[in-house]
Structure 1
Amino acid sequence: MARRKKIYEGKAKILYEGPEPGTIVQYFKDDATAFNAQKKDVIDGKGVLNNRLSEYFMTGLNQIGVPTHFIRRLNMREQLVRACEIIPLEVVVRNYAAGSLSKRLGIEEGQQLPRPIVEYYFKDDKLGDPMVTEEHIAAFGWASQQDMDDILSLALRVNDFLSGLMLGVGIRLIDFKIEIGRIYDGDFQRLVVADEISPDSCRLWDISSGRKLDKDVFRRDLGNLTDAYSEVARRLGVMPNEPTQMTKPKLIN
């Protein structure tokens, strides 16, 4: 079998050339990083869980008409996605104060915001992904005004979908990050939700207890990260509801 060509390796995923033109194989690693990779570890089963959860979220978005790059899951760690040109922005939607917003504005973590707030960060690890405004985005040509209108619409639709989904299983969606890609069909361009949606890219708190079920467990040394992600997967029906202790996540095929 021919060796696959690696296109890119990031902190949590590896991208390989896909089997067909215009496709990419996205491989989910077990690596966990925080504070711009200053804190690192390998968490058994994390990549498997993120692959399955991202599949679940992306499939749901596709079904309600929110376009994504996701095509299908290939195996426990890999999924097939459409190749797209990633806009160099991280799009963050905040429903409650937490993390950097609390630090910047002195707002207590967990306080509900008056309305969802959408923020943009320039994707550059060396610079620490600095926060930018639409003025910066327009001035440096990262996205057009029409792109920004579409990105805002996509971000808020994803927020509505994820918020309702999580509320139904007793989880509060505090905030999340998405990336947006451009797909070209001849001269026609469309924007899609790309990268991944998983507990790595969301803040998820249990509604009744406030327990964190996201990467803050790793950032703040709050317990076992796999247990937290497995709890999200179990509530959403991605994992079976079994009392048996498992050293690694057992997922439904």
Structure 2
Amino acid sequence: MARRKKIYEGKAKILYEGPEPGTFVQYFKDDATAYNAEKRDVIEGKGVLNNRLSEFFMTGLNHIGVPTHFLKRINMREQLIRSVEIIPLEVIVRNFAAGTISKRLGLEEGTALPRPIVEFCYKDDALGDPLVSEEHIIAFGWASQQDMDDMVALALRVNDYMSGLMYGVGIKLVDFKIEIGRVWEGDYQRLIIADEISPDSCRLWDIETGQKLDKDVFRRDLGNLTDAYTEVARRLGVMPANATHMPKPTLIN
């Protein structure tokens, strides 16, 4: 079967035209990047794990009434998604201090925040995805005030779901980032979760040991990234209990 037309290629995923209007096929690559792609590598099996984990999280969100672009998984590396108009913002929810907020505010990494904090970054790799305020977002027309209210509400619902899910398997959800897109149903606009939810986009720490089970393993050279992601998948029941890592699948012509 011939490969469909490529629509877009990012650092970790490729979008192809879908089988029906209004759909895309999202392919998960093994590429790992950090620090705005200043550090990069190819980690065998990473794309398979992120595909399966994102499917798991998106399906769970759909089941509790949080709308996402996910329709179904096609194979070990691809999933069928709805076409959405992506709002050019990363929505970040923080439960504990880590990463840039620790540096900006001088907080010790791991400090519990008084409440979940929602931040927005403008999606522009050349600018380093700068932090922006609601004033910037509304002034430059990236989103309306109603959009902003809906985005915060969506992000906090995702946080509630993900925090409880992870706590149940002994993992602390430190923070995560999501993307949100617009879909149109006639004249009615709706906001839905897009892109992916995976250890690439979350900080996940073992509750007991503090072991990092997310992309910080790659950023900070803390071990094998595939093993860390496999541990998350194993605890959630996405992977067999005896799995050690996810190898790259063998393609059969």
SS of equivalent to 2:60: helix
Where does 1:1-253 land on structure 2 (aligned, <5 Å)?
Answer: 1-242=1-242, 245-246=244-245, 248=247
Read off the aligned partner of 1:82 and give its amino acid letter: R
Q: Deviations over 1:160-214 (max 9, x none)?
A: 0000000000000000000000001121110000000000000000000000000
Runs of 4+ residues over 4 Å off in structure 1: 244-247
- Residue identity matched to 2:126: K
Change (3 A) 1:126 1:188: same
Unaligned ranges ≥5, structure 1: none
Query: Counterpart of 2:213 in structure 1: which amino acid?
Result: L
Rounded Cα–Cα distance in structure 2 between residues aligned with 1:91 and 1:246: 30
The separation in 2 between residues aligned to 1:13 and 1:85, in whole angstroms, is 17
Secondary structure of 2:223's match?
A: coil
Q: Is the 8 A contact 2:49 2:246 kept in 1?
A: no
CA distance in 2, matches of 1:47, 1:123: 22
Normalised by the length of structure 1, the TM-score is 0.96
- For 1:95 and 1:71, locate their aligned partners in 2 and report how far apart those are by CA, in whole Å: 29
Distance 1:32 1:176 in 2: 17
SS at match of 2:27: strand
Question: Is the Cα–Cα contact under 8 Å of residues 230 and 245 in structure 2 kept in the other structure?
Answer: no
> What's the CA shift for 1:158?
0.1
CA distance in 2, matches of 1:2, 1:29: 19
Residues 80-105 of structure 1, C-alpha deviations (whole Å, 9 max, x = no match)? 00000000000000000000000111
Mapped to 2, the partners of 1:130 and 1:166 lie a distance apart of 28
- How many residues align? The count is 249
TM-aligned CA deviation for residue 248 of structure 1: 2.2
The Cα of 1:3 is off from its aligned counterpart by 3.8
1: CA distance, partners of 2:245 / 2:164: 29
Aligned CA RMSD, in angstroms, stands at 1.2
Separation in 2, partners of 1:245, 1:50: 15
Quick one: distance in 2 between partners of 1:193 and 1:150?
11
Partners of 2:75 and 2:29 in 1: how far apart?
13
Q: Return the TM-score normalized by structure 2.
A: 0.96
Preserved CA contact (<8 Å) 1:95 1:115: yes
